[in-house]
Amino acid sequence: MAPWPFFEEDEIKAVQKVLSSGLVNYKTGNEGALFEKEYAAAFDSQYAIAVTNGTAALELALLAIGVGKGDEVIVPARTFIATASAVVKCQATPIVADIECKSQNMSLKTIEKLITPRTKAVIPVHLAGWPVDLDPIIEIARKKDLYVIEDCAQAHGAQYNNQPTGSLGDIGCFSFCQDKIISTGGEGGMITTSNPDLYKRMWSLRDHGLGYEKANNIKPGIGFKWLVDSFATNLRMTEMQSAIGRIQLRKLTKWVAIRQKNALEFTSAIRDLPIWTEVCPPENYVHSYYKYNILLNQKALSTKWTRNRIIEELSKKGIQSRVGACPDIANEAAFQNSKIDITNPRPNAAKIADFTLMLPVHPTLTKSNMSYIADNLRNILKLASK
């Protein structure tokens, strides 16, 4: 089966060129700055900041908007733990919201009752490339004076109302980790925003607390330069990673189109089977398909079969399948052993917890790979049906 990530020759040569130059650090080379400029343009944002990973992107975003002790940030139940742990890292409290069954995303309906005077921000996660219905969330955020931080870790190339994910809220946070749609050599992340004040704060927080104006207007001359305005850390991306990212960004439109085509092939193969519920985003959405999610119909599933057995049977055929996103991050020991209140009901997250699975649709999958997966998926789902 074709692997992902897979680094093509032009990406490998770009890394070799950077290594050969010796200009491997963001401060000495220009790959990082160019990657940021090109990424901002591609995602309809004024600014972009390249960072070490998607978790760092979330942490910087939260720090920039002033999240701290006593604050609450609403996050979805169905996401990777980093969405919540970034909030805790800022000494604030993540409030876990329920999700909609079909999209597996948060919605205005699932978050509205969780907003309190302590709420500082909302983090919608565009799960597996399906955009969150953002307009209603942004509208209530404006009324309540809240920030909206988009978690776009799985949504490179997705769109909502003809706008790229990451450009709709106050800040967008992307991950380039391992098997993401863009993958910069193992780790990596990007922040997007069109707010100049937030940009300058995040720029400074990423780079040891350097004052943005001071660091970008250094006067020539001998003597120590006093540039640090606050205590921070170093979360800069390397030049090798940026070189990969720049090339992959140019391929993004083509890659997303292939992912969509592959997803449609799976849908066509199993569309007539009652064991699953076909779900499609509205016409004004562009789904970028980080993975292909399947929502099983519990009533049509044989009593001798479970979701896990389906995954096991696919695995026997050499097909990589997973359960999908974490069913509910509030069930992790990190939450259970904390003092965070997780008593608000999340019935939808619980309802679909044992009935989701995901399949790969990455662009290196060949025509024969796709046919093999689709045929076996159909056969196994038929066996698992009542």
pLDDT band at 196 (very low <50, low <70, confident <90, very high): very high
Domain range 9-250, CATH class: alpha beta
Q: For residue 172, which of 330, 44, 35 has the smallest C-alpha distance? A: 44
Planar angle of CA 36, 40, 44, nearest 5 degrees: 175
* Identity at 383, one-letter amino acid code: L
pLDDT at 149: 99
Domain extents in the chain: 9-250, 252-383
What is the β-pairing status of strands 356-359 and 292-295?
antiparallel
pLDDT band at 299 (very low <50, low <70, confident <90, very high): very high
Q: What is the three-class DSSP state of 125?
A: strand
- What does R_g of the chain's alpha carbons equal in angstroms? 22
| DSSP string of 261-330, one letter each residue | HHHHHHHHHHTT-TTB------TTEE---SSEEEEB-GGGB-TT--HHHHHHHHHHTT---B--S-S-GG
* Identity at 305, one-letter amino acid code: W
What is the β-pairing status of strands 93-97 and 163-164?
unpaired
Beta bridge partners of residue 173, listed in sequence order: 151, 191
CATH superfamily of 252-383: Aspartate Aminotransferase, domain 1 (3.90.1150.10)
- Please give the average per-residue pLDDT across 25-38, as a whole number: 98
Q: What percent of the chain has pLDDT over 90?
A: 99
Q: What is the C-alpha to C-alpha distance for residues 386 and 372, in angstroms, rounded to an integer?
A: 24
- Please give the average per-residue pLDDT across 92-112, as a whole number: 99
pLDDT band at 119 (very low <50, low <70, confident <90, very high): very high
Neighbours of 214 (CB within 10 A): 15
Contacts of 376 (CB under 8 A, 6+ apart): 314, 317, 319
- The string of pLDDT tens digits covering residues 227-276 is 999 999 999 999 999 999 999 999 999 999 999 999 999 999 999 999 99
